[in-house]
Amino acid sequence: MSHISSYETDIVLQTAISEGRSVEEDPGWEMLQEAIHACAEEMNLEVGRSIRDYYGRFVYCDWSLSGPTFERGVGVKVDRKTGKVMFLCDVYGGYELLARKVRDRIVQNFSALCVTKALAALNYEVELEELTDPVEGKKVLIRGVL
């Protein structure tokens, strides 16, 4: 029998922490970095280490994405105890939609990297295709054949 499953996703870098190592050594750390840099390229943003709040104060994080049209930026911070990945942004003043778009794109890119790697580890032949839908935005299709 075969089936179709739908999943909601969350990013938690817990593998290294559970082995007593630092989260920076987690197998997902580099992939998260790659996903953030890909998002920056796709959305014309720059990667840094801080975001700003409504009052212009700096908030430091592991990565940030900001640009001339989005000076406050979205921050990404990994909890050193739990590995939970958090997205930070002061959305006051109409930044909610843009902040959500940046977060969703990072999660989408990270998911694509993880699925590709996991299927390859299970010996599948993997193909990846990216589509842009005018309504739904970017879609990633990954096909693994055994």
Partner 1 sequence: MKREVRVDIGSDGKMRVEFSGFPGESCFDEAEMLAGLLKELGLWAIPVEVTPKTSEEIAREIATGETTQEKKVPHL
The distance of closest approach from Cβ of residue 106 to partner 1 in the complex, given in angstroms and rounded to an integer, is: 9
The verdict on 12 binding partner 1 (CB under 8 A) reads yes
The verdict on 28 binding partner 1 (CB under 8 A) reads yes
Report the C-alpha gap between 63 and 110 in whole angstroms: 14
Report the C-alpha gap between 16 and 31 in whole angstroms: 14
Amino acid identity at 2: S
The verdict on 26 binding partner 1 (CB under 8 A) reads yes
The verdict on 85 binding partner 1 (CB under 8 A) reads yes
The distance of closest approach from Cβ of residue 83 to partner 1 in the complex, given in angstroms and rounded to an integer, is: 7
Cβ atoms 32, 112 nearer than 8 A = no
Report the C-alpha gap between 139 and 56 in whole angstroms: 34
Report the C-alpha gap between 146 and 26 in whole angstroms: 28
Q: Which residues in the 87-146 window bind partner 1 by CB under 8 A?
A: 104-105, 107-108, 110-112, 114-115, 117-119, 121-122, 124, 133, 136-146
Residues found near partner 1 in the complex (CB under 8 A): 1-15, 26-29, 31-32, 83, 85, 104-105, 107-108, 110-112, 114-115, 117-119, 121-122, 124, 133, 136-146
